[in-house]
Amino acid sequence: MSETNVHKVLVSACLLGQPVRYDGQSKGIVSDWLRELGAEGRALAFCPEVAGGLPTPRPPAERQGERVVTESGLDVTAEFDHGARLALQLCQAQGIRFALLKEGSPSCGSGRIYNGRFEGQSVAGEGMTTALLRRHGIRVFSEDQLPELASALALAACGSA
């Protein structure tokens, strides 16, 4: 999946091996292609939750409509919103048009998020960062869509996207 182009990609830091998830873990680097993208300096690691002021580790949180709350009921919407806005600012400052974000996350989910009842059940939806980036024209992909992201980057390199 390797192509040469100059487009940078905003990437959930946990997908690049950084231990920033709520449980203090990372997801590890999910592919050799992503490792190459990072080595080329085209993958910009970012964790909206940490950038928004939340610690690592932190209590799990899920979206409940427009709010994000922890299992104990603490409203952390402001921190998630702040992190989403910082992600957008970074994308705008760097000219980033593509993002690879962690599926299921209340920040980064691009097609599925947890249902807000802390049951381990996911539903169709998107995280706060994904929603904001998409409203501003940034294409968001999950770690399950690496071929689609690679194709989009290749088309962009040719001036087609």
**98, 20, 25: which is closest to 52 by C-alpha?**
20
User: For residue 2, is it within any domain?
Assistant: no
User: For residue 104, is it within any domain?
Assistant: yes
What does the pLDDT read at residue 161?
55
The domain tally of the chain equals: 1
Output the DSSP codes for 72-121: T--B-HHHHHHHHHHHHHHHHHHT--EEEE-TB-TTT-SSEEE-SSSSS-
What does the pLDDT read at residue 4?
41
- Domain range for 77 is 9-155
User: For residue 160, is it within any domain?
Assistant: no
What does the pLDDT read at residue 108?
98
Across the chain, which has 161 residues, the per-10-residue mean pLDDT values are 65 95 90 90 97 97 97 97 98 97 97 96 97 98 96 88 55
Based on DSSP, count helices (H) and strands (E) in the chain, helices before strands. Answer: 5, 8
